[in-house]
Chain A
Amino acid sequence: MEQAIEHFAQLTPDKAAVISADETLSYSALWKRIRLRAKRLREEGIADGTPYVFVATQDADFIVTYIAVHLCGGISVPLDSSTPEERQQQIREEVSPPINGKNPLPSFRGNKWLNGKCSDILYTTGTTGKAKGVMVSKKAWTANAENLTDRLGFTSDLLFIICGPLSHLGSLSKIYPTLMNGGTLYIMESLKDLNAFFSVFQLPFPKFATFLVPSSIRMLLQVASKDLAAVAPKIDFIETGAAAITQSDMQRLCQLLPYSRLFNTYASTETGIVCSYEFSKYGCVPGLLGKPMKHSSVRIDGEGRVVCSGDTIMSGYVGSPELTAQILRGGEVFTSDLGSLDNQGMLRLQGRQDDVINVGGYKVNPLEVEEAVCSSGLVSECICLPAPHVLLGTVPKLLYVPGEGLETKPKDIADYLRGRIESYKIPLFYEAVEAIRHTYNGKPDRKTYRKD
């Protein structure tokens, strides 16, 4: 990508490369800022194989830092802005394990799971249900970009709106095909300010596109369908993914955007971007995610799990060869997604094998939530379960037994969790109960609760 930006800085120096609320950077300005930032980072010690941990701010400056780290040969480790400070520190230590008491950063090159091919570490709950650092290589990013360009059609006249977190694959992956094709990125903090989102469509660009998780699509359909219809002729494509979109939402979106191409994509941090299905062209079928893209392959194993291979897959988990070996074997990523392939080779998802709760595209491990709640002393025990939600599809719900002599209220628990775990992991629904059901070996009985 660095080469592409340098190329466009010479070819189309004045063209807007990145726009955010406070500034617009042309390709030449972007390249200049990246080189200056890289110089500063080198002075700070960022060199070949050095991890650089930073919070993913939703602005043009993030793009500058992210690419400058790569220009130094470093490893970008962008964190979600709601990552608690204590967790940020843990991650800094995790990506820089001390060796013989010396500054260990370049030791990453010696990690046999890394093989010297890591350009990013992205933190996700993802496939394993545990928050882990996923190592993504430069080769994987290039393959992801080519998959997206080939299937979705990124072009130089496109303005791509990023309104999701840049610490996650869904949004971060779009900066590559956009800038590698000489297009323009528009970065928003979030979809919170819907007026700001729709005002982007007034900019003088011929084509617009964006990535929206299904819950964001549901929100727009609920409160902004007129606005969406008003900008319909300008929208080239919308990609969704990271969670299941309902058939009715797909159909409604097709009706509102009759001129747009609408895609449902299968991707995860571990697998990269693997399949995408144009439901506006081929029909609104829930769970259908299309054929694998040019750099990817998919098969279903004997347990019905989706197994992915190809150039987009991760290099492994940071500092955890054991966990890596559980998921990544023989060049294949064994996901926890259950699926099937139809006679045309199209992937159809049918649920998950584990207890992970998908909250609007974010994966939440219920054990992590329960551990955080129990550490409060506000409850004697609890269980975190998925519950249906009108916008997000599913959200964490907490059943809890108040601590002895306490009258614990939901807000007490939510207030305690704020700043201790990421905001999307905080349960949205609460229910005080007299006891939690357990299995014969004393674990919370998730299966019977899920059947309730």
Chain B
Amino acid sequence: MKEHIIALLTEALPMVNIESDFLFSELDSLGVTTILMLLSEEYGIELDARDATPRNLKTIDAIVEMVKSKLANK
């Protein structure tokens, strides 16, 4: 899942280093929204503004955990 999400986000946000240890600080509002929209569509989960926290988007691993958690509670 992690590699798939990296590929997906790298294609959508080529100017962002998706594997950065400080991913949230690299993102702008477009990046945050793009991540929420792409992952919602790809995994059929509901992600909204409340999920767009610095903690959830801190690193790619945090994003993967957020997706897994949403899938588990689906």
Residues of A within 8 A of B (CB): 190-195, 198, 215-216, 219-220, 222-224, 226-227, 360, 390-392, 410-411, 413-414, 417-418, 423, 426-428, 430
**What are 13 A-B residue pairs whose CB atoms fall within 8 Å in the complex?**
A192-B52, A194-B52, A195-B53, A216-B29, A223-B52, A227-B49, A410-B14, A414-B15, A417-B15, A423-B15, A426-B14, A427-B14, A430-B14
A197 to chain B, nearest CB (A): 8
Report the nearest A residue to B34, measured CB to CB. A391
How far, in whole Å, are A413 and B31 apart by their CA atoms in the complex?
18
Do residues A223 and B14 form an inter-chain contact, with CB atoms below 8 A? no
CB contact under 8 A between A215 and B36, given known A223-B52, A418-B15, A423-B15: no
Bin chain B's interface residue count.
20 to 34
- Interface residue? B47 (CB, 8 A): yes
Which are the 6 A-B pairs with shortest beta-carbon distances?
Answer: A224-B49, A194-B49, A191-B29, A414-B14, A219-B33, A414-B15
Q: Mark B5-29, 1 if CB is under 8 A from A, else 0.
A: 0000010011100000000100111
Q: Is the CB of B30 within 8 A of A219?
A: yes
Complex contacts, A215 vs chain B, CB 8 Å: 30
- CA of A193 to CA of B56, assembled, Å: 11
Report yes or no: B52 in contact with A195, Cβ–Cβ below 8 A: yes
The proximity string for B residues 33-48 relative to A, scoring 1 for CB distances below 8 Å and 0 otherwise, is: 1101100000000011
Decide if the interface of chain B is mainly helix, strand, loop or mixed. helix
How far does the alpha carbon of A191 sit from the alpha carbon of B27 in the complex, in Å?
11
* A223/B49 in contact, CB under 8 A: yes
Complex contacts, B37 vs chain A, CB 8 Å: 222-223, 390-391
Chain A residues with Cβ below 8 Å from B36 are: 222-223
In the complex, which of the residues A391, A410, A413 contacts B30, with contact meaning CB atoms closer than 8 Å?
A: A391
Say whether A226 contacts B48, CB under 8 Å. Answer: yes
- Kindly count the residue-residue contacts between A and B in the assembled complex, taking CB atoms under 8 Å apart: 68
- Within the complex, which residue of B24, B28, B50, B52 is in contact with A423, where a contact is CB–CB below 8 Å? B28
Residues of A within 8 A of B33 (CB): 219, 222-223, 391
Partner of A193, one of B13, B31, B48, B52: B52
Given A219-B33, A223-B52, A360-B30, 16 other A-B contacts at CB below 8 A? A192-B32, A194-B49, A194-B52, A195-B49, A198-B49, A222-B33, A222-B36, A226-B48, A391-B30, A391-B37, A411-B10, A414-B15, A423-B15, A423-B28, A427-B14, A430-B14
- For chain A, what secondary structure do more than half of its interface residues adopt (helix, strand, loop), or is it mixed? helix
Say which residue of B10, B14, B30 sits within 8 Å of A392 (CB atoms). Answer: B30
Asked if B48 contacts A192 (CB within 8 A), the reply is no
B14 touches A193 (CB 8 A): no
Q: What residues on A are CB-neighbors of B54 within 8 Å?
A: 193
A224 touches B29 (CB 8 A): no
Instruction: Check A426–B15 contact: CB distance below 8 A.
Output: yes
CA distance A231 to B34 in the complex (A): 23
Residues of A near B31 (CB, < 8 A) are 192
Residues in A with CB closer than 8 Å to B29 are 190-192, 216, 219
The complex places the Cα of A257 from the Cα of B26 at a distance, in Å, of 32
Q: How far is the CB of A267 from chain B (nearest CB, A)?
A: 21
A413 to B15, CA, bound (A): 9
B50 neighbours in A (Cβ, 8 Å): 194-195, 227
Report the minimum CB–CB distance from B49 to chain A (whole Å). Answer: 4
In the assembled complex, the CB of A191 is this many whole angstroms from the nearest CB of chain B, namely: 4
Q: Please, which residues of chain B bring their CB within 8 A of the CB of A227?
A: 48-50
Bound-complex Cα distance A175 to B50 (A): 29
Complex partner residue of A224 from B13, B27, B48, B53, CB under 8 angstroms: B48
B20 to chain A, nearest CB (A): 12
**A418, B53: Cα distance in complex, Å:** 25
Residues of B with C-beta under 8 A to A430: 14
Q: In the complex, what's the smallest C-beta–C-beta distance from B16 to chain A, in angstroms?
A: 8
Shortest Cβ distance from B52 into A: residue: A194
The distance in angstroms between the C-alpha atoms of A51 and B48, with both chains bound, is 44
Which one of B15, B34, B54 has the greatest number of beta carbons of chain A within 10 Å?
A: B15
Residue of A nearest to B10 (CB): A411
A427 partner residues in chain B, CB cutoff 8 A? 14
| Distance to closest chain B CB from A379 (angstroms) | 15
Q: In the complex, which residues of chain A have a beta carbon less than 8 angstroms from the beta carbon of B49?
A: 194-195, 198, 220, 223-224, 227
Asked if A192 contacts B15 (CB within 8 A), the reply is: no
The smallest C-beta distance from B54 to any residue of chain A, in angstroms, reads 7
